[in-house]
């Protein structure tokens, strides 16, 4: 078990906060505005709660020693599976723990449980790994050093270092290959990429931002999930839910006053799932010296459900252009790789 100088346990009822020695506790009951028409809580709502927990514990840890004050900014979210749906009326419980620190980053593990307050039954709905970097309050472009944590075993530090190096490499690769833009097409045919692709344009206001003028990672993730959900619903025209999110990479900060465009397009379909690529571009309209830039990117996976909550077949995507066919094959590769990984975990251990 990892020994930490700072820990956090969040029991996510709305607007009710209890402070404890080593963390904050809050309780949040899921309400109709948190869910879709079928009563399932939006994946983006859960992602936002996860990010808030990670931001609190990492900011608290990074300010645990004397030195320049800072705020932790989200840099990356590893693949996140939605293990079980959460419904209106249930209470979300979020717990976060720091599991590794490098010189300039913090790894946070977050678990989400849902509680039926009528029966008391609880179930695990999400597990997520997030990476944060501490930014100076005096200059948010300056990354500060992270106080180290104490490990009970040397192997824990070695395993954490491997995870750190792997995510660092993936972030760089993703940043360079995300240069394209989703363009609208007139009169697209059903089941094509163009038919379901969607975009949302949002002006970043004070309520979206930290006290230091850049957007909360959880706000961005919630908007990304909304766009991906629209793409999925347009494609299959049924109730849809978020099944998983591949790694979300935050390539650059989004500042207050920017206009952001969140674009989503279908990349791959299996028999019962849909992969949607979501790109976030920021346009600093109040700063003519800075050009539009790619701020975040991710792949979301959705499934189609019947009114009874059973999985439904998904209409097969029809890629038309060479780029669409290439993205389809790349998505198929990710799908088969994850399927093999799940099957491997399901096999009994000798």
DSSP 124-144: EEEEEEEEEEEEESS-TTPBP
pTM equals: 0.86
Determine the straight-line distance between the first and last CA of the chain, rounded to whole angstroms: 24
Torsion over CA: 240, 244, 247, 253 (sign): positive
Please tell me the predicted confidence (pLDDT) of residue 179.
Answer: 61
The answer to whether residues 197 and 96 belong to one domain is no
271: in domain? yes
Please tell me the predicted confidence (pLDDT) of residue 192.
Answer: 96
Q: Facing residues of 8 across strands?
A: 96
Please tell me the predicted confidence (pLDDT) of residue 286.
Answer: 78
Please tell me the predicted confidence (pLDDT) of residue 175.
Answer: 59
Among 101, 134, 166, identify where a domain stops. Answer: 166
The answer to whether residues 216 and 192 belong to one domain is yes
The answer to whether residues 213 and 98 belong to one domain is no
CB 94, CB 112: distance < 8 Å: yes
5: in domain? no
The answer to whether residues 94 and 160 belong to one domain is yes
The answer to whether residues 186 and 138 belong to one domain is no
Q: Total domain count for the chain?
A: 2
Distance CA 236, CA 255 (A): 35
Distance CA 315, CA 236 (A): 6
Give Cβ neighbours of residue 257 (< 8 Å, ≥ 6 apart).
Answer: 203, 204, 284, 285, 286, 287
Please tell me the predicted confidence (pLDDT) of residue 38.
Answer: 79
Please give the residue range of the domain that contains residue 213.
180-349
pLDDT by residue for the chain (350 residues), tens digit each?
333 433 444 443 333 333 333 334 557 899 998 988 778 899 999 999 999 999 999 999 999 988 899 999 999 999 999 998 899 999 999 999 999 999 999 999 999 999 999 999 999 999 999 999 999 999 988 999 999 998 888 899 999 999 999 998 887 776 555 567 777 777 899 999 999 999 999 999 999 998 888 999 999 999 999 999 999 999 999 999 999 999 999 999 999 999 999 999 999 999 999 999 999 999 998 777 788 999 999 999 999 998 888 899 999 999 999 999 999 999 999 999 988 887 776 544 44
The answer to whether residues 121 and 246 belong to one domain is no
95: in domain? yes
205: in domain? yes
The CATH number for 207's domain is: 3.10.129.10
Torsion of Cα atoms, 318 then 322 then 324 then 325, to 10°: 60
The answer to whether residues 334 and 202 belong to one domain is yes
Reported as type and span, the H/E element at residue 267 is strand 259-269
| Closest among 170, 90, 92, 89 to 129, alpha carbons compared | 170
Annotated catalytic residues are 36, 225
| Closest among 221, 244, 22, 79 to 10, alpha carbons compared | 22
CB 73, CB 63: distance < 8 Å: no
Please tell me the predicted confidence (pLDDT) of residue 26.
Answer: 57
């Amino acid at each position: 078990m990892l020994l930490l100088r700072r820990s956090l346990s969040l029991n996510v009822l709305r607007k009710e906060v209890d402070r404890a020695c080593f963390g904050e506790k809050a309780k949040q009951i899921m309400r109709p505005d948190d869910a879709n028409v079928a009563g399932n809580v939006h994946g983006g709502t859960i992602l936002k709660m996860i990010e808030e927990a990670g931001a609190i514990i990492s900011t608290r840890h990074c300010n645990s020693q004397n030195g320049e004050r800072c705020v932790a900014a989200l840099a990356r979210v590893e693949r996140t599976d939605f293990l079980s749906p959460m419904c209106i009326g249930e209470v979300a419980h979020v717990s976060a723990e720091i599991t590794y620190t490098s010189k300039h980053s913090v790894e946070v593990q977050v678990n989400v449980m849902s509680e039926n307050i009528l029966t008391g039954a609880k179930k695990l709905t999400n597990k997520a790994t997030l990476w944060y970097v501490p930014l100076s309050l005096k200059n948010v472009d300056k990354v500060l050093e992270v106080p180290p944590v104490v490990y009970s075993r040397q192997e824990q530090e070695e395993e954490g270092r491997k995870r750190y190096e792997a995510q660092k490499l993936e972030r760089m690769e993703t940043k360079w290959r995300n240069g394209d833009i989703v363009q609208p097409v007139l009169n697209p045919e059903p089941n094509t990429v163009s038919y379901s692709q969607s975009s949302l344009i949002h002006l970043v206001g004070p309520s979206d931002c930290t006290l230091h003028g850049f957007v909360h990672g959880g706000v961005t993730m919630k908007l990304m999930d909304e766009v991906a959900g629209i793409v999925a619903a347009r494609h299959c025209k049924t109730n849809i839910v978020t099944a998983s999110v591949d790694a979300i990479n935050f390539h650059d900060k989004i500042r207050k006053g920017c206009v952001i465009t969140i674009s989503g397009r279908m990349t791959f379909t299996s028999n019962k799932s849909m992969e949607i690529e979501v790109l976030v571009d920021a346009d600093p309209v109040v700063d003519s010296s800075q050009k539009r830039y790619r701020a975040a990117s991710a792949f979301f996976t959705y499934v189609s459900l019947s009114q009874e909550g059973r999985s439904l077949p998904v209409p097969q995507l029809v890629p038309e252009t060479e780029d669409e066919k290439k993205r389809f094959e790349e998505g198929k590769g990710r799908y088969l790789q994850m399927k093999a990984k799940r099957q491997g975990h399901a096999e009994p251990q000798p």
